[in-house]
Structure 1
């Protein structure tokens, strides 16, 4: 991997390698863009097959956070941490405290949070070494686990998507296929069940499947069969890149709306969905509830204020669907344009302000 060529292509600012021999920490912090403010993005722990795979994931996820924070109206840039290791067996206290020290050394350029493979308890350990962490335990005045809030945002986004596809946003009686039953998906299923949706679910973890069947009356299918179900909505809540050349021909749903990151394997797959008339809710828009929630901690957490911002996901998607229809462009491209326009507008405003300050200083010196 030609790292600098990749960073130049997508205009990254910084890539930091963190190593602590004592704890076994091997982490990478990627900072994509800080135009809107300090970079905010979670710390993910995963048993990557190679260091190159970890670097690429950090870079890709950091860029996604730039767009997610921008489209969500947050005054934050995009960043991400990946820790190389198995979260089931490689964690220890000093690992996260060491990571906290590395984050502290960035002097606020990057703020971390919980992500795949990490927990609130891990964030508490990071908090021992730095204030630049969100999603810590509520006993510290924080918001705690962001998964339920992420799920609520996905639920609202799914309703907006249903209105675009079916004419109203009711999910009662809708058949919804949910791929993956982790923390976010479980809470999403709870919302859908309470509204009267009919759930078809799958997960590689059979205990999770059994819980969904028992609690929500869900129908269970094998992982490879989830794409071809006769459903109204397909909700990917597990792996990324699952909208691809192999899966698209199998899909019978009119809507794709789920919590998984980087759902499109390639941008062209978003174009294919557009041409097929499938309503696609861009992932970084619909799953932004968690980051909106933890970002509120930076102002002194207020749940009511945070939830009002999460509810704006419905309006954001409605705007994206309208733009997609009016300009005949895929929804992912409409979302990208809106995010990029906000970043560009703030950049120009700051540049003009700095130029005015420079001119004033020059006049005073003359």
Structure 2
């Protein structure tokens, strides 16, 4: 392990990071376990190229902490964890398949400490393979892969509806414009749900063809990625990479609500207060984007009734309404209300933090 890895992990508030190097591909594997008081850690596996391996490690740790708050925030007994596979830019299909198999074997060595699912750069088919080898992939039904994207999108829709009601006094999408950034596994189905609900769509993606595909299917206007900050919209729905909300971008926002599926949308917690100071209602990401996690954890426990799964996901809207009201009463960002809710669940069901005397 390099000195850079040690510096980063020693400064982290999580429990542990399991690191492995895949010599066949040059990929680094990071499995970050942030807080397992509620149970074994569970979170997606992200596969991506990074400027340096340490950036993949940092991503894994940030995402793992987000999973701690996500599970506790929606009252599910899993611990916070995340895996990142930092790959070289030129990884071919055959090499990738071998890497997935070796990663699955790596999970076996963890003996159930981490269970995983789809994230950016991995697919339901990857999870079926990982599940067959390790037994530690969630969201599989009879060994077949499921797709969390539509459930996540449904939860985001419920959250946006709650935000509209709180911010504007009604949950009607008619006449409301939504800027969807990122038209991938969640953004694409979200755009469809928004169009069906009557929203006006503004669509943007670094891959213009993805935005065009959504436009062809659902209508709306395609916005160049470098022009999205100049778009007037009622709702900004970030559904791609994290940290799009920061001291540079928040002053440029032209919306009343931020509510989307991306993880770690804020560069830091201070950005939540920056949004509040501008009168922008923020739906905490780890609450509004929990639909896939909620559904797949229920599937993992044996739930198969689609009506009940959808109803469970729709409860995200009710949770956010409560957080918005609590935050408004306290004169603070909904992020703080969400964090208190999660801490209450952790304290009630998980015992003292690791290392507490």
| TM-score normalised by L of structure 1 | 0.89
How far apart, in 2, do the equivalents of 1:176 and 1:13 lie? 39
Contact residue 87 and residue 118 of structure 1 kept, 8 A: no
Deviations 1:144-187 (A, max 9, x none): 01111111110110000100101111112201111111121110
Deviations 1:281-304 (A, max 9, x none): 011110001111221232124233
Within the candidate set 318, 322, 325, 2:325 is matched to: 322
Residue in structure 2 matched with residue 98 of structure 1 by the alignment: 102
CA apart distance, 1:7: 4.7
Residue in structure 2 matched with residue 133 of structure 1 by the alignment: 137
How far apart, in 2, do the equivalents of 1:88 and 1:21 lie? 15
Deviations 1:22-72 (A, max 9, x none): 465531101011111110001100011111111111111111100011101
Deviations 1:309-330 (A, max 9, x none): 2111001101110111111111
How far apart, in 1, do the equivalents of 2:144 and 2:51 lie? 37
Residue in structure 2 matched with residue 357 of structure 1 by the alignment: none
User: Is it true that 1:331 corresponds to 2:352 in the alignment?
Assistant: no
Residue in structure 1 matched with residue 310 of structure 2 by the alignment: 307
Unaligned residue ranges in structure 2 (runs of 5+): none
Q: Specify whether residues 108 and 251 from structure 1 end up closer, same or farther in structure 2 by C-alpha distance, changes over 3 A only.
A: same
Q: Specify whether residues 54 and 350 from structure 1 end up closer, same or farther in structure 2 by C-alpha distance, changes over 3 A only.
A: closer
SS at match of 1:311: helix
How far apart, in 1, do the equivalents of 2:257 and 2:19 lie? 40
CA apart distance, 1:87: 8.0
How far apart, in 2, do the equivalents of 1:97 and 1:234 lie? 38
Unaligned residue ranges in structure 1 (runs of 5+): 352-366
Contact residue 97 and residue 128 of structure 1 kept, 8 A: no
Residue in structure 2 matched with residue 250 of structure 1 by the alignment: 252
CA apart distance, 1:21: 3.1
Deviations 1:211-245 (A, max 9, x none): 22222221112112212212111111112111122
How far apart, in 1, do the equivalents of 2:318 and 2:11 lie? 32
CA apart distance, 1:8: 5.9
Q: Which moved more, 1:41-50 or 1:230-239?
A: 230-239
Q: Which moved more, 1:212-221 or 1:84-93?
A: 84-93
Contact residue 24 and residue 95 of structure 1 kept, 8 A: no
User: Is it true that 1:345 corresponds to 2:353 in the alignment?
Assistant: no
SS at match of 1:145: coil
Within the candidate set 236, 239, 248, 1:237 is matched to: 239
Q: Specify whether residues 218 and 86 from structure 1 end up closer, same or farther in structure 2 by C-alpha distance, changes over 3 A only.
A: farther
CA apart distance, 1:337: 1.5
Contact residue 22 and residue 29 of structure 2 kept, 8 A: no
Residue in structure 1 matched with residue 40 of structure 2 by the alignment: 38
Deviations 1:238-296 (A, max 9, x none): 12111122222221211111111111112111101112221110111100011112212
5 Å-filtered alignment, 1:248-287, equals 248-287=250-289
Contact residue 111 and residue 134 of structure 1 kept, 8 A: yes
Q: Specify whether residues 87 and 331 from structure 1 end up closer, same or farther in structure 2 by C-alpha distance, changes over 3 A only.
A: farther
Residue in structure 2 matched with residue 220 of structure 1 by the alignment: 222
Residue in structure 2 matched with residue 121 of structure 1 by the alignment: 125
User: Is it true that 1:68 corresponds to 2:74 in the alignment?
Assistant: no
SS at match of 1:41: strand
Within the candidate set 54, 58, 61, 1:59 is matched to: 61
Q: Specify whether residues 82 and 269 from structure 1 end up closer, same or farther in structure 2 by C-alpha distance, changes over 3 A only.
A: same
CA apart distance, 1:208: 1.4
Deviations 1:51-102 (A, max 9, x none): 1111111111111100011101100011011001158834533212211121
Give the number of aligned pairs.
349
User: Is it true that 1:109 corresponds to 2:113 in the alignment?
Assistant: yes
Contact residue 37 and residue 353 of structure 2 kept, 8 A: no
Residue in structure 1 matched with residue 16 of structure 2 by the alignment: 14
Rg: which structure is higher? 1
User: Is it true that 1:153 corresponds to 2:179 in the alignment?
Assistant: no
Contact residue 93 and residue 125 of structure 1 kept, 8 A: no
Contact residue 257 and residue 280 of structure 2 kept, 8 A: yes
